[in-house]
A and B are shown apart, each in its own frame.
Chain A
Amino acid sequence: MGLTFECARCHDHKYDPISQKEHFELYSFFNNIDELGLTPGGAGKIPKPYMTITEKEKNGVLSFVQIQKSKMEEIPVMVMNEMENIRPSFILNRGVYDQPTTQVYPNTPKSILPFPSEYPQNRLGLAKWLFHKDNPLTARVAVNRFWQRMFGNGLVASSFDFGNQGSLPTHPELLDFLAIKFREEGWDTRKILKYIALSATYQQSTEVTQELQEMDPENRLLARAPRLRLTAEVIRDQALKISGLLNREVGGPSVKPYQPAGIWEATTGGGGGSTATYVTSTGKDLYRKSLYTFWKRTVPPPSMMTFDAASRDLCTVKRQETNTPLQALVLLNDPQLIEASRLLAKTAMDTHMEKIDQISFIFKQATSRDPDEEELQMLGNYYSSMLEKVKNEDIGAEDYLSIGAYEIKGEYSKYKLAALALTAHSILNLDETISRG
């Protein structure tokens, strides 16, 4: 809903018209689940209620998630079940769990939209209320987040707060127009994203003139396209994609790509368990999209965290976009990036004869544009210098080319391959490569 609703857990909201009572009324919609939580009986036991995915579904409608890879014949999946006899909910004094006071019943904040009496007082009713045509928030908050996704900032910059403490929309009519369009066209996310992408505003150049910089340093008026750093996942996925390593398989169990040795082991209690030791995946599983990377919440993948991936500890509406020395170290020294550079060099040599064309190819793969003459010359000089160093054995070509599990087959000059891989390695480190726009 784009509100700081949790403020009202301990007291009435200090700025927005949300009372503590309303907080617990909304809470009570969800306090009616007969889930047992973690049950005695050890790991692997699924507490009730759950539904079962059968053999037929595994191979039928759910085949895309590849659960056939699982050894289990029938897979239990936990579900939320509405209780028949409603569990009473109470206002908790100052939000403290063992201090219940007045009993409350499922209801929604009046200041947003009173709960229609014809709706059932359960989660179904709440869902209907969220998508009611007079609910002022749902569609606006949603399209604002899509806008944020496309432009870095929402039309309401505080995408997490549409309350009195939040920002005003820079373009209120546009926000309303998009919200209504989204609602009337069936809440179709793909469609609205495409609509935004095809707009003239989205397709502008990112070039910043002195004049624009002074008039609108934050680019709130969108007279230019924003320049955004790619997210942690996209930086890795892009390198996999352009080097041809990417495994595009959909669904299935998580995988464990390269990670520095010893970081799980250093923090585990030593009692064993499936996450005591990091066992790196092999073969194609090394190159799946970062979406499929195994995520240990107490020790998340460091290369992802360095690029501001969400820690999964708190709900994150908007990620940070930082610029730090540790990011430079990851891009320079992560074996995944070096392996991708090697593969990029190989592909360039497969498809182009001349060194200049090979470099142009790699540059365009990484930045989506052709290098200009000056850039080509700089990169060409760099390549020549590297080639000389490889030949003089100032660079250990075999060592460098052995980084990463992928084995290149076929006959390549190791000198040229190493020199071109080092050139690609530089290109993957450019600010432009890890930025959009």
Chain B
Amino acid sequence: MAETKTIEIECLRYHPGTDSEPRYQAYQVPFTEDMSVLQGLQYIKDHLDGSLTFRWSCRMAVCGSCGMMLNGIPQLSCHAFLRDYHPGRLRVDPLNHFPIMRDLAIDQTDFLRKLATVKPYIFPGEQKTPAQGEFLQTPGQMDDYYQYSQCINCLLCYAACPQYGLNPEFTGPAALALLHRYNADSRDAGTPERMEVVNAEDGVWGCTLVSYCSEVCPKGVDPARAINQNKINSTKDYFFRFLTPRGGK
């Protein structure tokens, strides 16, 4: 039997039906060396307070549901261990910059709407039937976008981005990284379809390269790079519109 210690976990609580603003509630949680923060929260829900609300699913940093602020840093709660916060106290907040629905669950509607605007799917340049074969790609061409395709939509990057907090209209890191993931794919011909989102004031130009998004990403995606490369593409697009008869298309 592994040694059990106790840690104080302080959670932000907000009940839309009864609270006018959020408050903190502290719990004493027994834990073992191998317990994640998510397991600590599950202990609270199972044994101390069944009303604590939070999202989770896979427990293995794949689904992107359990993002939270752990002592002020955006992290997947399944990807952080209670032992690393002991003997100190752990404060858990819902992801920054998003409206709180209840306790640690935020409203992701805004992101889901933005995700649809970047058209995150391949527009094939030429139509092919399966009989005509696959769209081929070299390892080098795959390397151009592979890292960006690892996004799990966990929204840690939005919680890390002060520009998104200050201006919720900003398209934001994950959506723009996914936009670039498709633009950078050699099989895709949809770049012109996505330039309007790139060029907008709230597109890539809403970014001031704080680059904390890339720092907190649990999957090694580099949204700051995707966005800032596209400032070059947006500038080119702007000038080519004047220089070419067909308006850069």
A and B found bound together: no
Please report A residues at the B interface, Cβ cutoff 8 Å.
none
Please report B residues at the A interface, Cβ cutoff 8 Å.
none
